[in-house]
Amino acid sequence: MATPLSLPAPAKLNLFLFITGRRPDGYHELQTLFQFVDFGDELHFTPREDGAIRLLTEFEGVPAESNLIVKAARLLKEKTGCPLGADIRIDKRLPMGGGLGGGSSNAATTLVGLNRLWGCDISLDTLAQWGLTLGADVPIFVRGKAAFAEGVGEIFTDANPPESWYLVVVPPVSVNTGLVFQADDLKRDTPKRPIAEIQPADWANDCEPTVFKHYGVIEKVFSWLLEYAPARMTGTGCCVFARFDSQVAAVATQSLLPPQWQSFVAKGVNRSPLHERLAVCD
């Protein structure tokens, strides 16, 4: 049997997220800063000669046909005409609908992993372009470098934010990204600024007021964390993170969390763990 290729699908954090407008097609113009963390899912790919794409891990509430892993594998096969297939397993650790980009990261790891396993030799830029059709955050995970993103999140400028430690709390709710963007009370008029002018003191997330209004528990988590460290929601929620200078400080605050709140401590990294692992495989 062929050796499986195992690759990480890390989470991302939006260190800030400003909504600067709405396009005629309904999508929103953003200015955001993406950083990865050294925590996420792990995918395992084994090639198949018969061309079939099989996802061997069940997802509650997501049929295989709509799973972004299967969609990404099919997309790569269709675009390249590769005759091979794959058995895919995943150790799922990231919450779904958490604003950590788990689905997009799974899709990106599938595109990059199968490109390697099948020997397709497609460039990262092209994979990122194809990936955008699967989800707005797929390109950042394919590129694997911390970056400011503009447009609907597909125009990048490399960034090098401090690689702090984060305590990430997962409130017991799932937030639907589409519904947040449809909300009447969403702040969508932050003036667009040159990226160099956005200072750390200005960092904020325009989705917070709307999401907090509709999901009281997320605001509760946010207020709790704020007592200990600077805190912010990632993406459209639901996860909230607090920033610390050391792992020890993050873990100490984690030990005080109310027991019903799930959490993890992770380090911010400006190069994706996916690309770190691929470099080791070279």
Ligand X SMILES: C[C@@](CO)(OP(=O)(O)O)[C@H](O)COP(=O)(O)OP(=O)(O)OC[C@H]1O[C@@H](n2ccc(N)nc2=O)[C@H](O)[C@@H]1O
Binding site for ligand X (CB under 6 A): 14, 26-28, 30, 32, 99, 101, 104, 135-137, 152-153, 177-178, 181, 235-236
Are the beta carbons of 235 and 255 closer than 8 angstroms?
no
* Binding at 30: pick from ligand ADP, ligand X, none (beta carbon under 5-8 Å per type): ligand X
User: Is residue 112 classed as helix, strand or coil in its secondary structure?
Assistant: helix
Residue 198, token pair as written in the block: 């956005």
Query: Binding ligand ADP by CB under 6 A: which of 101, 113, 131, 171?
Result: 101
User: Is residue 45 classed as helix, strand or coil in its secondary structure?
Assistant: strand
User: Taking contact as CB under 6 A, which single stretch among the options 20-28, 96-104, 149-157, 249-257 is the one that binds ligand ADP?
Assistant: 96-104
137 is catalytic: yes
Residue 26 marked ligand-binding: no
List all residues 6 or more positions away from 173 whose beta carbon is below 8 Å from its beta carbon: 215, 217, 218, 238
CA distance 79 to 202: 42
List all residues 6 or more positions away from 210 whose beta carbon is below 8 Å from its beta carbon: 180, 183, 185, 186, 187
| 97 touches ligand ADP (CB under 6 A) | yes
Residue 97 marked ligand-binding: yes
Q: Torsions phi, psi of 96, nearest 5?
A: -85, 140
| 67 touches ligand ADP (CB under 6 A) | yes
Q: Among residues 71 and 253, whose Cβ is nearest to ligand ADP?
A: 71
Cβ 212 to ligand ADP shortest distance, Å: 16
Residue 235 marked ligand-binding: no
Q: Which residue is nearest to ligand ADP (CB)?
A: 103
Residue 103 marked ligand-binding: yes
- The one catalytic residue among 12, 71, 77, 92: 12
DSSP single-letter state for residue 65: G
* Binding at 28: pick from ligand X, ligand ADP, none (beta carbon under 5-8 Å per type): ligand X
User: Taking contact as CB under 6 A, which single stretch among the options 97-105, 158-166, 205-213, 248-256 is the one that binds ligand ADP?
Assistant: 97-105
Residue 179, token pair as written in the block: 């519904």
Query: Binding ligand ADP by CB under 6 A: which of 69, 111, 134, 274?
Result: 69
Residues composing the chain: 282
CA distance 132 to 115: 16
192 is catalytic: no
Beta strands 85-91; 231-233: pairing state = unpaired
Query: Binding ligand ADP by CB under 6 A: which of 2, 56, 96, 226?
Result: 96
Q: Among residues 8 and 137, whose Cβ is nearest to ligand X?
A: 137
Q: Side-chain half-sphere of 153: how many Cα atoms within 13 Å?
A: 25
- The one catalytic residue among 71, 77, 92, 137: 137
User: Is residue 141 classed as helix, strand or coil in its secondary structure?
Assistant: helix
Catalytic residues: 12, 137
Residues in the annotated binding site for ATP: 95-105
The contact set with ligand ADP (CB under 6 A) reads: 62, 67-69, 96-104, 106, 177, 235
